[in-house]
Structure 1
Amino acid sequence: MTRTLLFACDLSAENRAAFARAIRLAVDSGARLDVIHVLDPYLPRRVLHDLEEAVVADIGATLADLREDYALPEPASLIQTVTGAPYAEIIREAHEREADMIVLGAHRKRGQPDLVSGTTLARVLRSAPCPVLSVSQPASREWEEILVPVDFSLTSRHTLRETLKRFPEGRLTLLHAWDIPGERELGSDSDYIRWRDREVARLRTQLDRETEQLMGELDQVPELELVLEQGEPLEVLLSHLRRQPPDLLALGSRGQLGHHSQITSRLLAEPHCDIMLCRAW
């Protein structure tokens, strides 16, 4: 069965980077590119009819322009308009088309994580049946360095599996944030330091074992580097992104509860790179 990439186009100038990336992904993977634009269902019927024709023509022209700009061949594609609430229609279309991935533009309100939760992007992330790609970087940027935060959970295992499957030629950095009890009170005690070092070594061994098990399930395995850093997961991740921004961040989505919601909101509001968010299973 032909793979399908679903790109939600909003016709904005900021959306061009995501559109170009969607075209490139479709060409590279041999997938069909389905481009949809969601129209306001409350517009008069006559206006909707005229608007549909104009939107499809504009998207087709943009697709041709981007192919020329990036010297890309023409992928198999389908351009359509739908009416309804944007996030609900994107999710519904992804289900009906059995989309392999949804591609969206990045959140526009940079530096305002408190405004992310109600956006189309955030709502799609919460309910998408497949990985969602949030694009903020030019499509000419190669995805060579890929960062995957890991915490031994089912979600991070699934995210790592998806990343290994989709990007077998990338260089993956697995980032694990660790925090051992007693560091503040006993950090200078020699016995504590030896115990802490043993615990960190145990964590590394466990993560190596988990990674090797996943790699054994795949035919091609990219270059991997394991990085353990001490601290709270969000701050460790943001610090690493500032020091060594990757080309792509692959992150698991466990919904919008607890600290994971804060991590997602901060990352979407301050994108250092393109982000692929995977569902929990």
Structure 2
Amino acid sequence: MTRTLLFACDLSAENRAAFARAIRLAGESGARLDIVHVLDPYLPRRVLHDLEEAVVTDIGTTLTDIREDYALAEPTSLIQTVTGEPYAEIIREAHEREADMIILGAHRKRGQPDLVHGTTLARVLRSAPCPVLSVSQPANHDWYDILVPVDFSLTSRHTLRETLKRFPEGRLTLLHAWNIPGERELGSGTGYARWRDREVERLRRHLEQETEQLMAELDDVPELSLELQQGEPLDVLMTQLRRQPPDLLALGSRGQLGRHSQITEHLLAEPHCDIMLCRSW
């Protein structure tokens, strides 16, 4: 069955990078590119009819312009408008088309994580049936260095599996943040330091075993490296992104409120790279 990529197009200038990446991904993977624009359902019917034609024409023109700008091959594509609440219609279309991935532009309010929660991007992430790609970088920027934060959760294992499957030629860095109990109180003690080092080594062996099990399920695997860093997950991840931004960040999204979603919102508000978010199963 032909893979389908769903690109949610909002016709803005900021959306152009995501449009270009969607075209490139479709061309490289041989997938069909379905381009959807969501219209306001409360507009008068005659206005909607005229607007639909104008939107389809504008998207077609933009697709041609982007292909010429980036020298991209023309993918098999379908341009369509729907009416309704943007996030709900994007999720509905992804289900009905059995989309392999949803592609959207990055959050526009940079540095304001408190404004991310109610955006179309955040709402799509919470209910998407497939990985969601948030694009902020130009499409001529190759995805080679890929950062994957990992823990021992189902979400993390699924995200790593999706990344290994989709990017067999990339170079993956697995990042695990750790905190050992008693560090503040006992960190200067020699006996504690030996115990801590043993615990960190145990973590490393556990992660390596998890990774090897996933690699055994796949035919091709990329180059892998593992980094263990002490600290809170958000602090460790943001420090890594500022110090050495990857080409792509592959992150698990559990879809619920709470601490994990706060990490996601900070990353979407301050994107240092393109981000692929995967559901927990």
TM category, shorter: over 0.9
In structure 1, the residue matched to 2:146 is: 146
CA apart distance, 1:267: 0.2
Deviations 1:9-65 (A, max 9, x none): 000000000000000000000000000000000000000000000000000000000
For 2:146 and 2:112, the matched residues in 1 are separated by 25
Deviations 1:85-105 (A, max 9, x none): 000000000000000000000
Counterparts in 2 of 1:165-180, with a 5 A limit? 165-180=165-180
For 1:262 and 1:100, the matched residues in 2 are separated by 26
For 1:261 and 1:250, the matched residues in 2 are separated by 15
In structure 2, the residue matched to 1:278 is: 278
SS in 1 for 2:55: helix
CA apart distance, 1:259: 1.2
Deviations 1:91-147 (A, max 9, x none): 000000000000000000001000000000000000000000000000010000000
For 2:123 and 2:75, the matched residues in 1 are separated by 28
SS in 2 for 1:148: strand
CA apart distance, 1:261: 1.0
Deviations 1:192-213 (A, max 9, x none): 0000000000000000000000
Counterparts in 2 of 1:1-281, with a 5 A limit? 1-281=1-281
For 1:182 and 1:212, the matched residues in 2 are separated by 31
For 1:177 and 1:156, the matched residues in 2 are separated by 13
CA apart distance, 1:152: 1.0
Deviations 1:237-281 (A, max 9, x none): 000000010000000001232210110000000000000000000
SS in 2 for 1:246: coil
Q: TM-score, normalised by structure 2?
A: 1.00
SS in 1 for 2:38: strand
Q: TM-score, normalised by structure 1?
A: 1.00
Please, what is the CA RMSD of the aligned residues?
0.4
Q: Runs ≥4 in structure 1, deviation > 3 angstroms? A: none
2:135 maps to amino acid = V
SS in 1 for 2:226: strand
For 1:151 and 1:168, the matched residues in 2 are separated by 21
For 2:22 and 2:104, the matched residues in 1 are separated by 9
CA apart distance, 1:7: 0.1
Give 5+ residue unaligned stretches, structure 1: none
For 2:152 and 2:210, the matched residues in 1 are separated by 8
For 2:235 and 2:262, the matched residues in 1 are separated by 11
For 2:199 and 2:84, the matched residues in 1 are separated by 52
1:237 maps to amino acid = L
For 2:83 and 2:222, the matched residues in 1 are separated by 42
1:276 maps to amino acid = M
CA apart distance, 1:73: 1.0
Deviations 1:178-223 (A, max 9, x none): 0000000011100000000000000000000000000000000000
% identical equivalent positions? 85
For 1:258 and 1:107, the matched residues in 2 are separated by 20
For 1:233 and 1:129, the matched residues in 2 are separated by 26
2:118 maps to amino acid = G
1:51 maps to amino acid = L
